Amino acid sequence: MTRRTGSSLVILALGLVGLRTAFVGIGSAARGSNRVAMEAERKFIVGGNWKANGSPDSVKALIEELNAGEVTSKDVEVVCAPPFVFLSEVQGALRKDYSVAAQNLWDKDPGAWTGETPAQMLSDMGIKWVILGHSERRENCGETSQIVAEKTKFAVDKGLSTLTCIGEKLDARESGKTFDVLDEQLKPLADILSEDDWEKVVLAYEPVWAIGTGKVATPEQAEETHAYIRKWLADNVSEKVSESVRIQYGGSVNDKNAAELGQQPNIDGFLVGGASLKGGAFTTIINSV
């Protein structure tokens, strides 16, 4: 992988709401080697969130494009999340080095839940991943941070891995409250998940103001926030979880900006929206690491 390099010094001053955090200081070659080793253990992960897009014909064409894509980097994990109605088709036809995810789940056992899809059903059909807590579900479906945490715990208990989303709106970013929002979203997760549970959780930081808008956080903004999240995990969960949990960036990631974003030491992958519907562009994003 070309994105991980041994920096001699990484010191991030996080100044929002008066908070000042020195995240990482590396003062010797030995410590530099340890940092590279730590990052190498966090395998880069690229997720494609197809949202509520696609027809039978377009999904078939997208699968063909993805299957034909030449992946030059083997050190990357890929997860594609089609709409529920296409899950079985994608699961059966998509290349086997890519995993398939659902975009939501019902956190109850199978039963009289009209219109819902329990986690057990996903697990039984071989689905291994689920996206939870996306800002669109928080905003449009009333999912609170507590609900997202409970769904994450339920999914993990049922054997699924999660891409659990967090992120702030534009007003929070502009008023300097980004970290306050992240605190509120992370705390229920820290309260309900055990240290072992975190092994099946990927955090997807998606600034809401950058989702589908064409606006993208600068690499420096994204890195600052990812570093804060990692420090928060160290302070509120454990050093082990902080070092091992993968943190994706999402928010108008495309084949033009992925390489620069992916070079940041605390960005461990991407959750991609619109560009994941274009086989060539998504393959370029995968190869950007």
Which of 104 and 25 is assigned the larger pLDDT?
Answer: 104
Residue 203's pLDDT is: 98
Average pLDDT, the chain: 88
Can you tell me the mean pLDDT for 51-74?
A: 96
Q: Cα angle vertex 177, ends 176, 183, to 5°? A: 145
Residue 60's pLDDT is: 98
Q: pLDDT-based confidence at 8, cuts 50/70/90?
A: very low
Residue 278's pLDDT is: 98
pLDDT 10s digits, 67-107? 999 999 889 999 999 999 999 999 999 999 999 999 999 99
43-287 CATH fold: TIM Barrel (3.20.20)
pLDDT 10s digits, 103-140? 999 999 999 999 999 999 999 999 999 999 999 999 99
For 28-53, b/e burial (b = at least 16 CB within 10 A) is eeeebeebeeebeebebbbbbbbbeb
Can you tell me the mean pLDDT for 172-176?
A: 92
Catalytic residues: 134, 206
211 pLDDT higher than 70: yes
Q: pLDDT-based confidence at 59, cuts 50/70/90?
A: very high
CA distance 41 to 233: 17
**DSSP per residue, the chain:** --S----S----B--GGG---B-----SHHHHHHHHHHHHHS-EEEEEE-TT---HHHHHHHHHHHHH-----SSEEEEEE--GGGHHHHHHHS-TTEEEEES--BSS-SSS-TT--BHHHHHHTT--EEEE--HHHHHHS---HHHHHHHHHHHHHTT-EEEEEE---HHHHHTT-HHHHHHHHHHHHHHH--TTGGGGEEEEE--GGGSSSS----HHHHHHHHHHHHHHHHHHT-HHHHHH--EEEESS--TTTHHHHHTSTT--EEEESGGGGSHHHHHHHHHT-
Which of 269 and 211 is assigned the larger pLDDT?
Answer: 269
Whole-prediction pTM: 0.86
